[in-house]
DNA sequence: CTTGAACCTCAAGTGGCTTTAACTCGTATG
DNA sequence: CATACGAGTTAAAGCCACTTGAGGTTCAAG
C-alpha cells in the first residue's frame, strides 16, 4: 500500500534507479526501509527531497553544494542568506563559463568561416587553417579572434 | 644541445609534465627518444604538435576530436573540409551549452533575487525560496523563471 | 661529494554518474 | 505448479581528461 518502490520514485523525480542508489551510497539520500524481500520502500518525504536535489543539480550545483542546500532546508534557523550566498557563488561560476563559451563561439565560428573561405573548391594542400592552430604566435589564436578562450569545459 | 626535456616542452606549451606523459600514454603524442638516463628528449616537431593539441583542447574539442584533427594536419589530401565539419559539429555543441547556461543564469539570478527580497532582515523561518525548489509543481522552477534549464554542465 | 630540483614509473583519485554481471523477487500466464 | 519476465538486489568496473601521490633515479650546481 503506502510506499514507492525505487522505480516509482525514479519516475516521479525523473531520475534513474542506479542514480538513486548512488545518492544513497554517498549519503545524499537516507537509507530507506526495506520491505520483505529486501526491496527499498520510499515515502513522500523522499519524493520531496529527491525533487529538490534533482532541481539543484539541473541548476548546475555540485553534489557538495546540494548537500549544503539540502541541510539548509532542514535547519530553518539559517537558511535563506546562506542559501543565497551559495547560489551567488554558483552564479559567478556560471557567468564565467558563459563568457568562456561566448569567446569560444567566436573563435570556432571564425575557424569554420576561414575553412569555408580558403577551401571553397574542396580539400587541397593549400589549406592553412589547421596549420595556424599550431603556430606559437603572439596570443592570436584563430584568425578573426581576439578573445582569450581560457580553459574550456 | 638539441632537444628539450619534458619540463622545457611543458613550459613552451603551457602544459604540465604529467599531462605530456599522459598524452604519450594514450597515443596522442609519439614516444620520444630518450637520452642516457632514460629522460625524454623532444624536438621542435613536438612543440608544434603539442601546441596544436593544446589549442584545440582550449577550444573545447574532445581528445578524440583532437586526434582526428591532428591526423588531418598530417594528411594533406583530406584536411580542410573534414576539419571544418568537425569544427562545425563542435560549434553546435558549444552553442547548445551556451543556451543552457543562459537559461541557468536567468534561473539562478532569479533565485538570488527572491532570497534578497524575502529575507531582507536576515535569516528566518519565513524563508520560502528553498522550499519552492522541492515542490513538484507544473514546470515552473524558480519564481520569475520560465526557461527550462535542461541538464547542466 | 652532497644537495636539491627535475626526472622516472606505476597506481590511485577526481566527479557524477552509467554500465555490466550475476543474482533474487514478485507476479501473470499456461 | 512451473515458468517466464520485468523489476529489484549487490558489487565492481568504466567514462573523461587529467591530477596527485609514492617511491625511486638522474642531473647540474656548489
**Predicted local confidence at residue A150, as pLDDT:** 37
**Predicted local confidence at residue A52, as pLDDT:** 92
Residue A141 has pLDDT above 50, yes or no: no
Between B19 and B61, the more confident residue is B19
- Residue A105 CB partners (closer than 8 Å, separation 6+): B91, B94, B95, B98
Segment A62-82 mean pLDDT = 82
Q: What residues pair up with A42 in beta bridges, in sequence order?
A: A4
Within residues 88-127 of protein chain B, the ones with CB less than 7 A from nucleic strand D are none
- Residue A62 CB partners (closer than 8 Å, separation 6+): none
| C-beta atoms of B83 and A129 within 8 A | yes
Q: How confident is the model at residue B106 (pLDDT cuts 50, 70, 90)?
A: confident
Q: What is the Cα–Cα distance from B134 to A52, expressed in whole angstroms?
A: 4
**Predicted local confidence at residue B149, as pLDDT:** 39
CB A93 within 8 A of CB A124: no
Cell of residue B63, nine digits? 581528445
Of A108, A109, A134, the CB nearest to B48: A134
Residue A15 has pLDDT above 50, yes or no: yes
Q: What is the Cα–Cα distance from B58 to A113, expressed in whole angstroms?
A: 19
Residue A148 has pLDDT above 60, yes or no: no
Q: Is B141 on the interface with A (CB under 8 A)?
A: yes
Q: Is the CB of B37 under 7 A from strand D?
A: yes
CB B82 within 8 A of CB B92: no
Segment B111-135 mean pLDDT = 68
> A149 — phi, psi (to 5°)?
-70, -20
pLDDT in tens, B49-86: 999 999 889 888 899 999 988 888 777 667 678 888 88
b/e sequence A131-145, b meaning 16+ C-beta within 10 Å = ebbbeeeeeebbeeb
Q: What is the Cα–Cα distance from B114 to B144, expressed in whole angstroms?
A: 9
Which chain B residues are within 8 Å of A84, Cβ to Cβ?
111-112, 115-116, 119, 129
Residue of B nearest to A142 (CA): B55
Between B84 and B132, the more confident residue is B84
pLDDT in tens, A86-127: 888 889 888 888 888 888 888 888 888 887 777 765 555 556
CB A84 within 8 A of CB B127: no
Q: What is the Cα–Cα distance from A43 to B70, expressed in whole angstroms?
A: 54
Amino acid at each position: 500500500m503506502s510506499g514507492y518502490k525505487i522505480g516509482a520514485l525514479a519516475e516521479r523525480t525523473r531520475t534513474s534507479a542506479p542514480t538513486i542508489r548512488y545518492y544513497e551510497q554517498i549519503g545524499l539520500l537516507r537509507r530507506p526501509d526495506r520491505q520483505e524481500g529486501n526491496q527499498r520502500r520510499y515515502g513522500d518525504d523522499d519524493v520531496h527531497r529527491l525533487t529538490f536535489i534533482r532541481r539543484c543539480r539541473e541548476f548546475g550545483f555540485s553534489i557538495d553544494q546540494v548537500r549544503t542546500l539540502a541541510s539548509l532546508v532542514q535547519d530553518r534557523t539559517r537558511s535563506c542568506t546562506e542559501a543565497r550566498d551559495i547560489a551567488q557563488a554558483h552564479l559567478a561560476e556560471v557567468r564565467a563559463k558563459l563568457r568562456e563559451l561566448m569567446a569560444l563561439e567566436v573563435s570556432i565560428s571564425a575557424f569554420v568561416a576561414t575553412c569555408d573561405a580558403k577551401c571553397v573548391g574542396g580539400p587541397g594542400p593549400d589549406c592553412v587553417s589547421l596549420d595556424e592552430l599550431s603556430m606559437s604566435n603572439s596570443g592570436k589564436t584563430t584568425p578573426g579572434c581576439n578573445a582569450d578562450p581560457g580553459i574550456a569545459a
